[in-house]
Structure 1
Amino acid sequence: MPVRPALVPAFAAALGAAALLCAAVAPAAADPSELVTVDPVGRLASDGTITLSGTYRCTGGTGPVFVSSSLSQGDARLKQGVGGSTARCDGAEHRWENSGKASVRTLKAGAAQVEATLTELRPSGIILLPAFHAVTSRSITLTQE
């Protein structure tokens, strides 16, 4: 049994839990030049794999930085996490692309809402705390491949 597929959902869950924990604490203001965008079209493969993409720019990262994404269709309260990718905070604009399998919930081609977040895990004593560089939400079209 491959180890990596089991680690990715666990990592995503840990990152999500950390994000929720820090949502209760007032986050530091992000640099206005930092951004994350979402492309207007996402892909849905016949095997249920969703692929989302966009661009990001950030500066001053001291810990690992990730671009995470989620997608919803219909009920905005039900979000499907769609992978995560590492990011470089060097002030330049970079492309990101995340892919992941759809959960039990059935997704279909058509309108969808995507949220993308650029999050850094900064050392704070013996733990890593999330610091948010940028977040965006956008309506997209999910196309069947």
Structure 2
Amino acid sequence: MSLRPALATAAGAVLLLLVAAPSAPADSAAAADPKETVTIDGTGRIASDGTVTLSGTYRCADASGPAFVSSTIGQQASGVRHGIGGTLAVCDGKKHSWQNMGRPQTGTASAPLEAGKAYVEATIVELHPVGGLPLPRFHAVQDKQDITLTKS
């Protein structure tokens, strides 16, 4: 097997794992250090153009590769989750704030987000180098926290 197809396959696997980051398996959360946390503020904002702003705090330590706070939002009416941005995380063991902004794509399968009740998931994921490939390592996960989405 030549190197090019092998690298393309590995890169595709990493991309697939990163897309699934907010839905980390339960054992990933259980394996995380209890000192590593991610929280979600109880209120998010939605602008008139549909841009959503989510925020909270995080704490992580000992990252040997780049780490990010990723977030998704959904509303019960549609059942669809939307990825909202990603913030570079500083994993120094100290508490930091995060804020992600993004404008969800809407189409035939997904209604636009509206002000009101919503749920948010947030994850700290590191691109941990293993054998030269950056594989995801989960530091903290916050599953389906209810928030209020307000117009800004």
TM-score norm. by structure 2 comes to 0.79
Structure 1 SS opposite 2:112: coil
Identity across the alignment (%): 52
Q: Larger deviation: 133-142 or 69-78?
A: 69-78
Return the alpha-carbon distance in structure 1 between the equivalents of residues 33 and 17 of structure 2.
25
Cα deviation digits, residues 38-97 of structure 1 (max 9, x gap): 000000000010000000001111100000000010157410100001001101000000
Does the C-alpha gap of structure 1 residues 127 and 103 become closer, same or farther in structure 2, counting only changes over 3 Å? same
Structure 1 SS opposite 2:97: strand
| Larger Rg computed on CA atoms | 2
Shift of 1:102: 2.0
Of 96, 99, 121, the match for 1:97: 99
Unaligned runs of 5+ in 2: 1-14
Of 13, 18, 29, the match for 1:15: 18
Of 114, 126, 141, the match for 2:132: 126
Q: Which amino acid aligns with 1:133?
A: H
Of 69, 72, 94, the match for 2:71: 69
Structure 2 SS opposite 1:117: strand
Q: Detail structure 1 runs of 4+ shifted over 3 Å in the superposition.
A: none
Return the alpha-carbon distance in structure 2 between the equivalents of residues 113 and 49 of structure 1.
16
The answer for the alignment partner of 1:143 in structure 2 is 150
Shift of 1:15: 1.9
TM-score norm. by structure 1 comes to 0.82
Shift of 1:13: 6.8
